[in-house]
Structure 1
Amino acid sequence: MNTKAIVLFGHGARDVRWREPFDRLASLWKAQHPSTPVELAFLELMEPNLEQAIASQVAAGATEVVVVPVFFGQGGHLRNDFPVLLSACREKFPGVTLSATPAVGDDLAVLQAIIDFGARAL
């Protein structure tokens, strides 16, 4: 049986309050997709990191993990650091199918949601 899970991957920050919208995002995911486990992961300064989050999903029985980079654009971290991290995780978890979506900011629906948000302020 193929058990799917998702990892929402953000940058991380020194200020713990920066994490609050990510926690809300994970809670919304759980409410709307309760049959698909979700885990947060961070590139730096916060935990869990990507490997830890994937390990947690695998320990819970996931055989397929989709990583969603919650970044506005494809900067250096996503172009350079993220592929290396994802490749290392593929080596560490060879029995698990690991894939990644583009950055959320590359999605037209996300951009439209930001436009709609701004338009409500007018």
Structure 2
Amino acid sequence: MNLNAKAIVLFGHGARDARWREPFDRLAALWQAQHPQTRVELAFLELMQPSLAEAIASLADSGASKIVVVPVFFGQGGHLRNDFPVLLDACKQQFPDVALSATPAVGEDEAVLQAIVDFSARAL
């Protein structure tokens, strides 16, 4: 498998206010700058585009055969426990030639929590 066959989807909730998306755009740009060999797409659960299926379709159309979805949520709430698995399963059926997987919510990671502690400590 060549490196271009791997891709990441950064998956957020979505919001009515377009400004809410700005940190996600910066996150995707940081990813792409640090990992230029691996494509990244944003996707949103609701209220914003692209949807998860649209982002996966874009990556698959560009040759991605392994895609990891990273939920950029603070915790494993109802959306990630109930809605997300249904969406991911539907995408697995829609894109059978793509190996789709997902990580836990980013807020479940100790390094992410430590980054928040460090950020908070700098505010003192």
Pick from 44, 47, 58: which aligns with 1:42?
A: 44
Residue identity (%): 78
**1:70 matches 2:72:** yes
CA-CA distance at 1:36 after TM superposition: 0.3
For residues 47 and 24 of structure 1, the distance between their equivalents in structure 2, rounded to whole angstroms, comes to 16
Matches of 2:28 and 2:97, distance apart in 1: 25
Q: Scaled by the length of structure 1, what TM-score is found?
A: 0.99
Cα offset, 1:75, TM superposition: 0.3
The CA RMSD measured in Å over matched residues stands at: 0.6
Paired with 2:59 and 2:17, the residues of 1 have a C-alpha distance of 26
Where in structure 1 do 4 or more consecutive aligned residues deviate above 2 Å? Answer: none
Partner of 1:119: 121
Listed as ranges, the gaps of 5+ residues in structure 2 are none
1:25 shift after superposition: 0.1
| Structure 1 residue 34: Cα displacement | 0.3
2:96 to 86, 94, 97: 94
Question: Are 1:24 and 2:21 an aligned pair?
Answer: no
What is residue 61 of structure 1 aligned with on the other side?
A: 63
CA distance, structure 2, for counterparts of residue 57 and residue 49 of structure 1: 13
Aligned residues: 122
Partner of 1:6, secondary structure, is strand
What is aligned with 2:111?
Answer: 109
Give the Cα separation in 1 of the matches to 2:115 and 2:104. 17
Unmatched tracts of structure 1, length 5 or more: none
